[in-house]
Structure 1
């Protein structure tokens, strides 16, 4: 079978090495003669997964002891509600940075629970190229429960590469769904980080929450028990049956990252892949990207054909040669190549070669 390079934004490509391990263990995990999908989350065997996965994640991200790690149900959209319900405390106002589709979606959900100060940070120049204001120029409220932002917009291809450096009174919440484990980050800069699993972590159904311990004590009212961080922490993420298979796969991914050099190595490879694709786009009169270089995403690269009538042909031809899921999001159109950790350099090289061939054939 020929290799298929899956550029889907999520659920995303998994490392072949991890898929092979899942396949080998699926019906007989650890010589128990049952699948890992069948064992109880209360069993000693599953507790081994629980312990190892948190240990490996803490090691990869260098998570300080004052932060708790929760393995939660649902995706990032669940956290859009969980964050204000858990972190408002006695506050009534929150700051939400609007840098694209997902940050706007989070703000819209938060409006059900509090007053949202929506801060627009995108700038369009005369050529319709998008950039983002520096963090020092964000007009934050003086009475906000927290500041929420999304460092990588998967649909728009916009990234905020700055690390937040606000004063200690600002509780920064980051939606890292598409970037967690793609590069090192300073966890100390955040009050809370959350990330849906289906990008760089594994399978849908699991969301990781990293939260500073003192924030667990914020006053919460009428929060469903399955969404309350303090309860999830007290029960070690097993207040009810967790998504066990997704948790197991995440643990395998953590070990795969460690075997392949950790987050610094992941970051260097991801930058190399993205730069190769951006160079192909910028050097061609056939394709274009409308994000300023300082705010281009390394994870999700949207690009467009100047002749949009050829979009369907591009997708048909690319799929035929094994370049899968390059269609852009319905809200923006065009193409999108997602370059998560699992995408090898070979896949991007093949895409660049195809783009050059396509431009020559139809240009």
Structure 2
């Protein structure tokens, strides 16, 4: 029986990439030793880092005035690192509170002594829609505006078409939908993305930052490990980087290229998401928690309306090879994560199972 992983992260990876990793764990064809053993000072790893950067540049159409960095600490470290480096003029940032991770970013900035003003929020409505910038928003009052493009937990997304319009610097947490749909990088001054959702295993974070903004970073009151300049000066190797994770990320980037790049991923993701949303929209047993243009392509959240029944159905799904369907504890229900590596067959298998579960539990709601 085929099994499918719907986890929000660490998430499904391409089978071709997993096969290559398995081979390289014994002995890399390029390094004559396990990928786990190679030095970060080796020519082999230099080539991996450079190739990964080049692939990202191609896949995201990065202009030459943007730098690519690989940083440890996950997206959560970026919640602190960005304000430490860039909230150094107004000492105040604006946050669109669209979900759990945006809220955490505001809290982290506050902990670093930076005023983080939530200029709009959908928290009172359980984050089931996207907050928009108020008409009186004044970008010059803030060092930058922070957004989360895709809200992994709540299933909403700022697509390119509905990005907030600001005249000031824009910082985006793209951890769960980087490379899943097209964005014009020129809209952003800094983008970061933890790898564990759409880029590979946990342990490395991609940072894309505009050079002109990088020149404004605070390098006098920030320790070297928290300075972007340190990673830039040492080609992301200020200290020992997560060698294996960058290697795996590079393989995933190569796989995305082989599939046809971001346009192909976007088309496939639209097809997967539309198939599932169409099913949920016509169902009288399940209901999606997000409607309209705010819906995420990568994290689909839904429920029967009965918490205990949701838990039962999610648990029983494992008998059919469908894993990690339970929603986040703050939302409940179900969450089907449809990242780039998730095949269309996973969605059809999920819909077949949901039909079976409905027939079995129809009278229990």
Give 1:134 deviation, angstroms: 4.4
Give 1:92 deviation, angstroms: 1.5
What does 1:155-234 correspond to in 2, within 5 Å? 155-161=153-159, 162-167=162-167, 170-218=168-216, 219-234=218-233
Answer yes or no: is the 8 Å Cα contact 1:25–1:35 preserved in 2: yes
Matched, 1:312 2:294: no
1:159-189 Cα shifts (integer Å, max 9, x gaps) = 112245432xx00000000011111211111
CA root-mean-square deviation = 1.8
Give 1:224 deviation, angstroms: 2.4
> Relative to structure 2, which stretch is displaced further, 129-138 or 184-193?
129-138
CA distance in 2, matches of 1:74, 1:103: 17
CA distance in 2, matches of 1:327, 1:27: 35
Matched, 1:239 2:238: yes
SS for the counterpart of 1:29 is coil
SS for the counterpart of 1:111 is helix
SS for the counterpart of 1:209 is strand
SS for the counterpart of 2:94 is strand
Give 1:156 deviation, angstroms: 0.8
Give 1:35 deviation, angstroms: 0.6
What does 1:1-363 correspond to in 2, within 5 Å? 2-30=1-29, 32-112=31-111, 113-122=113-122, 130-135=128-133, 137=135, 139-161=137-159, 162-167=162-167, 170-218=168-216, 219-363=218-362
SS for the counterpart of 2:212 is helix
CA distance in 2, matches of 1:319, 1:269: 25
SS for the counterpart of 1:280 is helix
Answer yes or no: is the 8 Å Cα contact 1:97–1:103 preserved in 2: yes
1:182-223 Cα shifts (integer Å, max 9, x gaps) = 112111110000000001110101000000112222234432
Answer yes or no: is the 8 Å Cα contact 2:298–2:338 preserved in 1: yes
In the alignment, structure 1 segments of 5+ residues that lack a partner are none
SS for the counterpart of 1:204 is coil
Answer yes or no: is the 8 Å Cα contact 1:124–1:131 preserved in 2: no
